[in-house]
Amino acid sequence: MSPHSETARQLVRDLIRCPSVTPQDGGALGLLEERLKPAGFTTHRLRFTETGTPDIDNLYARIGRGAPYLVFAGHTDVVPPGDTAAWRFDPFSGEIADGQVWGRGAADMKGAVAAFAAAALDYAAANPAFKGSIGLLITGDEEGPAVNGTVKLLQWADGQGERFDHCIVGEPTNTEALGDTIKIGRRGSLTGELIVHGTQGHVAYPQRADNPIPHMLRLLAALTEPPLDEGSQRFDPSHLEILTVDVGNPATNVIPAKAHARFNIRFNDLWTPETLEAEIARRCTAVTDGGHYELSFHPCNALAFVTEADHFTDLAVEAIAAHTGRIAHFSTSGGTSDARFVRAYCPVIEFGLVGETMHKIDEHVSLADIDTLTAIYREILDRYFA
């Protein structure tokens, strides 16, 4: 086992042992800072706040000077473990068994954070006079509202004059085996609310009431059919999913006065939030006189984007192939990630571990994959600064 693989194995266990359920840090960022600072990294701990959202700790670390500047981005916060009694091991124990490391965040994404931190430490130690810079952007808010995390960390870095050339986000991108997928983009996400107003009344006298539920059903049918589009060159079709329909009616003999629905759209690069909102409003207007409903949208901070293939994506594919024998394919599938914020500052790709167990009971990843991912990140650094 190479020294950087051994470092990554220990670091992922130590990180898992930090109970960093969003918005709690659990000591994870301090642990990383303790590893990076003695090795020559300049570090900044940054706490961002905003009314109505949790205060969040973040970490920015850099070693080297000038360009080119390659930055790794990731998060140490994790989703709640759920029923801890259902886990094979304590979800914050970092237990090793059957060639796997077990615990909440092993796949998403403490494993990748450990791997790129170990690779950066190893490269900097072996190349003390390398020309360029290596950075780490680590947040504790990716699994939460994503308000006081990466977006503000990037704004702060930009205000300090930090200029990134490329970024790798360590999200668990692979579906079946390490090395099968690189994310080069993500769909956008837009959430909307629909309220239909009726007139409450007795079910035995419907002529004296106006039931909002049939109106709501017609509106929701118009939102889902026909499909928004058939997809684009790099993206699957946009998709609207109804999340909830509520009337708050516990009675069996009362027609409700109001119905409320929430929906989310994962949209491709054929749309912007503005054009999508206009299309949803058009569909609603087409099936009602407009006087019985309210349509609103949540603020959108997740736009569809794609990173064009270039020498950097080629370099990543070659490094992955060198250690896995697989030719990674480019994908834009899945949910949102903090790459949506990074893309405003520099080209960004995502590559991490296999995501099969992320957010599940008994989340775990292969130790061999931790070793290989660390070696891939190290290979990317070698090639990038060659």
Catalytic residues, which ones?
Answer: 77, 142
Instruction: Let me know if 210 is exposed, middle or buried by CB neighbors in 10 A (0-12, 13-18, 19+).
Output: middle
Query: Strand, helix or coil at 240?
Result: strand
- Residue with the two structure tokens 């360029």: 132
Question: Contact 7/119 with Cβ under 8 angstroms?
Answer: no
Pairing of the two strands 166-169 and 348-350: parallel
Token couple for 271: 């749309």
Structure tokens at 140: 């504790």
Residues 27, 32, 33, 37: what is their CA dihedral angle, to the nearest 10 degrees? 160
Residue 338: name the closest of 324, 353, 320, 350 by CA: 350
249 CB-near residues (< 8 Å, 6+ apart): 256
Question: What burial class does residue 102 get, using C-beta atoms within 10 Å of its C-beta: 0-12 exposed, 13-18 middle, 19+ buried?
Answer: buried
79, 22 contact by CB (below 8 A): yes
Surface-to-core class of residue 380, CB atoms within 10 Å of its CB (0-12 exposed, 13-18 middle, 19+ buried) = buried
CB 306 within 8 A of CB 269: yes
Angstrom distance (rounded) from CA 305 to CA 189: 11
Take residue 378 and report the two structure tokens written for it. Answer: 């190290």
Contact 355, 366 (CB under 8 A): no
Q: Is the peptide bond before 109 cis (omega within 30 degrees of 0)?
A: yes
| Nearest Cα residue to 326 out of 168, 185, 177 | 177
Q: Which two tokens stand for residue 294?
A: 């309210």
Closest CA to 182 of 302, 360, 70, 339: 339
